[in-house]
Structure 1
């Protein structure tokens, strides 16, 4: 049976994700940006939290762990780096699997934003939760990792099937779109940007996205095409990432 994903805004620009395995009724939260908002959504849905899956240690992703653990008794799993701010019941690393009822999540190393960042791929349902590694038309800042590490992580995600639904953790798409237009003027990007701006004008989310959409229009995944003179793909990515870091548009 499939999973149900309930997405909702929280904090200033985060998304919360509650995931229910329909076969068992077990429920997970992907990250814990706002414990009170998550508890309120659980109550409104009539769901009971069984599992917390962290992508990385930043407070807007793991800061609600202790409150949710105390309120629900949920098991907490995530990369070892999460212990910098909260305890874990199970440390996860690349190649591990973790089950939510009958739903299997494969753990992917997607470091770069932080050194230990991981993503969760539900291959059976064609869904990936990617935290702050990949955004709609963007990618995470390199707070801890290198451009080579992040390019490897983005390439790993880009290798997933094109129809994979990608849940990224922030509503950054309009800002990302303005930058994308500064480095790429292709018709596919322009059409997508128009759709993004229209959606935001209507107050609609631009998350989730798909791997296919990002490969077609995301300047970070397209870096080697946009910077063909770079010595390596990672260097092309580094140039685009540096341009985004200084972009004032």
Structure 2
């Protein structure tokens, strides 16, 4: 487990991701009886607090090469793309962003009076975020980036944890034959194992634990749980996500004492 300094959290603000399957209001409803904090929901973070600087900040956070630590392309066309993606999120996609850079930028766009650690902000993002791995010299997609604000990437839920190898083979085969990605139903029928894919109806249920992880980190200083059956676990493979977020029990014995309603 990774630990840090604990901070009492008395307020959590969750931000909607309207172009995704994630239901922020349902996540907040689940969270309220489990934590000792006020939980509110606001509209999409990028709609609430966007300004003229934010598109360039996203352009600077772009990952250009999966094996290159340097990020950013602030050419006019890229910045214009980011402007359009903020205004119309349906246009966004196919880009990975440095999660720590995005976190810093969104933190600077949070209202000045709400930046203390007792008020946790959790934007549900329609962007893919990643962190650099010094141990293997490559970028890794993430479901969440803990801290203030805590980022939760909805597409990261589908893309960051690895799926069964057969999934990628079927995806590639279908793309060669039809030129696009196969429907979720096709993959589920053809590939053994359990995994989540884009627009999965289980998205909201699975993201509940990742949002709770954000609160848990600030409140206790503990990042993740080592127990695979706990919603505070952070698995690297899709079957582990299903086990931690969609199966009973919700929590290990230790964290059930904290979060069982």
Give 1 or 2: higher helix fraction: 2
TM-score class, shorter-chain normalisation, is: under 0.3
Give 1 or 2: higher strand fraction: 1
TM-score scaled to structure 2, two decimals? Answer: 0.27
TM-score scaled to structure 1, two decimals? Answer: 0.28
